[in-house]
């Protein structure tokens, strides 16, 4: 069927890479794999980071005008060439959808949401307009496709929620895993690393808030492992880099290797070259890096947030520890460093689980079933 796709937070062709842009592209890929024809209906970015009533009103007016224009355009097409369903990805009070509900209503087609949340504490105050628009879109939705169990809380009708496991295309990560020895050798030579020692890996943006808190807890945990042999590679950059570097200042300098921002196409080889992904994941939605690491055959030690817990099978593809508990995190890492056979077994299990449960093929089948359910007469 023909699917009109819209991502109000960040369009899929936005020039700045991010996890949100990546997931939008993956959704389009999965829908196409399921045999659907996807059309990016609009590129209006409704997101705004600070409350500004005048700006919100302007975006709302622009969205209404775009919806009217789209309806005129679609109505000039034959019925067979019009969208049969509208799908909006990532809606919340800072990125409401001013377009989709109006177009879906005008065409008489189902309106679906992916990764939508409702923060009722924003019902009054400077974000009230965005909150009301998000609530209205959720009320209109035939189904709300949820990637994160935490988002279900507060939704107006949990009966319309359709779970979808976070997913990716595992092919590039599997290819990198097959070339692990070469990737490890190259990385060892470039950064002067001892390839006989275990390499830990953290991949995350460096920004204030939960990311910085996760980095600080990670540094705290690693300080407790001074007697173990390991090196940590840190891939990421951002406005909180100086604070992140300060957090790791208590560790010997030769133990910490700063890689800076790593291009997306270089990440599969980086994952494959390392031995263990470590990320406390404080208030993490689900963490694409955690999924990517496992796809490349890298077990993960992470904090047990609801979104992350669905990605790691505790004790089989990695370990989950209590959120914010540096002692438990350090113990989990130490246990795996002391048991290379377990680490190897987990690597195999992690890669197999991603392929079967979190691959784009599984997501395509699930999305197809949800769309067909929503469009049944």
Q: What is the CATH number of the domain that holds 39?
A: 3.40.50.2000
pLDDT of the residue at 370: 98
| Helix spans in 192-298 (H) | 210-223, 241-247, 267-273, 288-295
**CA–CA distance, 258 with 3 (Å, rounded to integer):** 42
pLDDT of the residue at 227: 87
pLDDT of the residue at 306: 79
pLDDT of 154 strictly over 80: no
pLDDT of the residue at 287: 86
What is the percent of the chain where pLDDT is above 90? 87
pLDDT tier at 145 (50, 70, 90 boundaries)? very high
pLDDT of 153 strictly over 80: no
Q: Which two tokens stand for residue 194?
A: 């001892």
pLDDT of 32 strictly over 90: yes
pLDDT tier at 19 (50, 70, 90 boundaries)? confident
- Could you tell me which of 342, 328, 340, 339 has the C-alpha nearest to residue 224? 328
End-to-end CA distance of the chain: 14
pLDDT of 116 strictly over 80: yes
Q: Are 155 and 118 in contact (CB under 8 A)?
A: yes
- Mean pLDDT across 17-30: 92
Same domain, 258 and 156: no
- Using DSSP's 3-state secondary structure scheme, residue 194 falls into coil
Same domain, 23 and 63: yes
Same domain, 105 and 178: no
Same domain, 138 and 122: yes
Same domain, 297 and 365: no
- Mean pLDDT across 236-246: 97
Least confident segment among 33-42, 142-151, 180-189, 338-347:
142-151
Same domain, 110 and 257: no
Same domain, 368 and 335: no
**CA–CA distance, 39 with 22 (Å, rounded to integer):** 17
Same domain, 29 and 145: yes
Same domain, 157 and 254: no
Same domain, 162 and 178: no
pLDDT of the residue at 151: 78
Q: Are 93 and 11 in contact (CB under 8 A)?
A: no
Q: Which residue has the higher pLDDT, 307 or 352?
A: 352
Q: Which residue has the higher pLDDT, 226 or 32?
A: 32
Which residue range forms the structural domain that includes residue 363? 2-167+359-374
Same domain, 250 and 132: no
pLDDT of the residue at 307: 84
Please count the structural domains in the chain: 2
pLDDT tier at 305 (50, 70, 90 boundaries)? confident
- Could you tell me which of 123, 170, 134, 153 has the C-alpha nearest to residue 29? 170
Same domain, 207 and 77: no
């Amino acid at each position: 069927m023909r699917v009109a796709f819209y991502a109000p937070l960040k369009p899929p062709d936005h020039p700045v890479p991010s996890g949100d842009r990546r997931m939008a592209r993956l959704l389009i890929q999965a829908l196409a794999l399921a045999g659907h024809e996807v059309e990016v209906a609009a590129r209006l970015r409704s997101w705004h980071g600070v409350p500004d009533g005048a700006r919100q009103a302007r975006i709302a007016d622009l969205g209404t005008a775009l919806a009217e224009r789209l309806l005129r355009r679609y109505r000039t097409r034959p019925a067979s060439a019009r969208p049969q369903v509208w799908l909006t990805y990532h809606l919340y009070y800072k990125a409401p959808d001013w377009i989709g509900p109006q177009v879906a209503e005008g065409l008489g087609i189902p309106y679906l949401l992916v990764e939508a949340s409702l923060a009722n504490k924003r019902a009054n105050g400077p974000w009230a307009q965005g909150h009301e628009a998000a609530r209205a879109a959720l009320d209109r939705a035939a189904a709300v496709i949820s990637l994160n169990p935490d988002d279900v809380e507060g939704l107006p009708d949990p009966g319309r929620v359709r779970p979808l496991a976070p997913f990716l295309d595992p092919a590039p990560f599997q290819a990198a895993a097959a070339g692990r020895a070469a990737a490890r050798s190259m990385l060892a030579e470039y950064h002067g690393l001892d390839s006989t020692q275990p390499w830990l890996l953290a991949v995350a943006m460096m920004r204030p808030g939960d990311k910085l808190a996760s980095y600080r807890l990670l540094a705290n945990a690693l300080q407790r492992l001074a007697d173990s042999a390991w090196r940590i590679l840190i891939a990421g950059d951002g406005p909180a880099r100086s604070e992140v570097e300060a957090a790791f200042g208590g560790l010997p300098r030769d133990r910490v290797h700063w890689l800076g921002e790593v291009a997306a196409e270089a990440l599969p080889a980086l994952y494959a070259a390392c031995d263990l992904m470590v990320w406390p994941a404080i208030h993490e939605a689900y963490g694409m890096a955690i999924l990517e690491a496992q796809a490349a055959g890298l077990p993960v030690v992470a904090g047990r947030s609801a979104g992350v817990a669905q990605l790691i099978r505790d004790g089989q593809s990695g370990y989950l520890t209590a959120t914010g508990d540096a002692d438990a995190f350090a113990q989990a890492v130490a246990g795996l460093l002391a048991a290379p056979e377990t680490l190897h077994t987990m690597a195999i299990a992690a890669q197999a689980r991603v392929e079967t449960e979190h691959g784009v093929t599984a997501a395509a089948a699930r999305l197809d079933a949800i769309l067909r359910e929503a469009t049944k007469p």
